Amino acid sequence: MSPTAPTAPTGGIGTGGGSGTSRTGPRAAYAWWGLCATGLLLILLGPELAPHGPTATPGPPYRPPAAGAPLGTDHLGRDVLSMVLHGGRPLLLTGLLAVGIGSVFGASAGLLTALAGARSRLPRMLLMRPLDALAAVPPVLLVLLILTALPGRVGLITAIALAGTPLSARVAYAAAEQVVGRAHVEAAIARGESRCRLLGREVLPLVAGALLADAGIRFTGAVYLVAAAGFLGVGGSSDADWGRLIVEALPGASLQPLALLAPVLAVALVAVTVNLAADSAGHRSRKVLA
């Protein structure tokens, strides 16, 4: 009778490969978040890092890249790099403030509707139906309508916040609806805990990732709307607004393509960075809700 062959230990090669992957994953994530933080910091400190002021003319119009103007000059002789650095902070802060307001109101409406809607359909009719009607209005049209009545940066922030509130409410409602029926939430309701305590301690921790991912997507849309407002010359855009830089660089794009490419790539870089960060947050939230 031949001896029994020794059994291979479980988790040999597979476990080693898995641990290597798990070690590499956090390192890549930390590197990515560090790159994102560096980019945001560069945008926020852009005016201080710019070599020239937003109205300075260090060279003739449509000058190619040279010393003192690494990206060349625009149609007025202004340094393209300085203009891009000066225009990033207003766009970023406007988008963050608008998304923060819209996400807070939208998430609050969605979470309250999901919590109260488990017992009655009336909250859904009172809270969600008006937001559904608001979502039917195209965001650009909503921005133009509000800026007609409330011009300036305040009107732009208000319009973008209103444009994002209905979709944020829908995301929050859909995420919370999967949670309110769980045993720990029903037990908290049976104990008579208040709605604020239920949302803060029982529901919000489980849907925070989904809300964060949604806020990232809303911020991407807000960046596009701020740039579109600058492109159209509304919303109190400054001389260095990225949307305004794009429209001003179009006639001379063949003479100085960097004057057009620089603000376009800046808008795309911010949008892609936040989109990837939002996707990462959404991936983590799906693991929690699973």
pLDDT in tens, 109-163: 998 888 876 666 777 788 888 998 999 999 999 999 999 888 889 999 999 999 9
Burial 69-91 (b: 16+ CB within 10 A, else e): bebbbbeeebbbbbbbbbbbbbb
Residue with more model confidence, 213 or 165: 165
Model pLDDT, residue 288: 52
Q: Is the pLDDT of residue 66 over 80?
A: yes
Q: Is 68 left (phi over 0), alpha (psi -120 to 50) or beta?
A: left
Tokens coding 200: 């803060």
Mean pLDDT of the chain: 81
Q: Is the pLDDT of residue 195 over 60?
A: yes
Q: Is the pLDDT of residue 28 over 80?
A: no
Rounded Cα distance, 182 and 52, in Å = 58
The reported pTM is 0.79
What residues does 66 pair with on adjacent strands? 69
Q: Is the pLDDT of residue 104 over 90?
A: yes
Q: Is the pLDDT of residue 5 over 70?
A: no
Model pLDDT, residue 9: 46
Highest mean pLDDT (candidates 122-126, 250-254, 277-281, 286-290): 250-254
In sequence order, which ranges of the chain are alpha helices (DSSP H)?
13-44, 46-49, 80-117, 122-123, 129-135, 139-149, 153-177, 183-190, 195-197, 204-232, 242-249, 257-289
Write down the architecture of domain 40-51+72-289 according to CATH.
Orthogonal Bundle (1.10)
Model pLDDT, residue 8: 45
